[in-house]
């Protein structure tokens, strides 16, 4: 897998789902009432949708903080980290089926 760095290589040229390296601030729950940033940044790898808001304006609500209001943008999803940003992205490569499948299961 080849990582493309947003600050060096830019974003993908077309909408789609990509593997991403996400940066997000660590948060602590204060007195069981609200979340406060600790000052640490954390990282994880996940998948995110890179949406074309020109074609899909209904996805504008899901754009990550700091993304433009139109054109191609990174989107969050249910359960995303607060204030996450994409540091790097990679194409999702199609994986072959496992060599062995359960009896009676057909490939499509």
Tell whether 105 is covered by a domain: no
Domain with 10, as residue range(s), is: 4-90
Q: In which band, very low, low, confident or very high, does the pLDDT at 62 lie, cut at 50, 70 and 90?
A: very high
pTM to 2 decimal places:
0.82
**CB-based contacts of 68, cutoff 8 Å, min separation 6:** none
Q: How far apart are CA 68 and CA 45, in angstroms?
A: 23
Count the domains in the chain: 1
Is 98 within a domain? no
In a domain, 8, yes or no: yes
Question: What value does the mean pLDDT take over residues 3-23?
Answer: 97
Residue 60 within a domain: yes
Q: What is the pLDDT of residues 24-47, one digit of tens each?
A: 999 998 888 989 999 999 999 999
Mean confidence (pLDDT) of the chain: 93
Indicate the pLDDT class of residue 94, thresholds 50, 70 and 90.
confident
């Amino acid at each position: 897998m080849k990582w493309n760095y947003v600050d060096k290589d830019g974003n993908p040229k077309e909408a789609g789902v990509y593997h991403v390296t996400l940066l997000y601030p660590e948060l602590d729950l204060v007195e069981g009432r609200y979340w406060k940033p600790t000052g640490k940044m954390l990282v994880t790898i996940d998948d995110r949708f890179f949406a074309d808001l020109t074609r899909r304006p209904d996805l504008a609500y899901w754009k990550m903080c700091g993304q433009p209001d139109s054109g191609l943008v990174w989107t969050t999803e249910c359960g995303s980290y607060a204030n996450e940003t994409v540091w790097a992205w990679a194409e999702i490569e199609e994986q072959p089926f496992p060599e062995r499948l359960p009896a009676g299961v057909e490939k499509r």
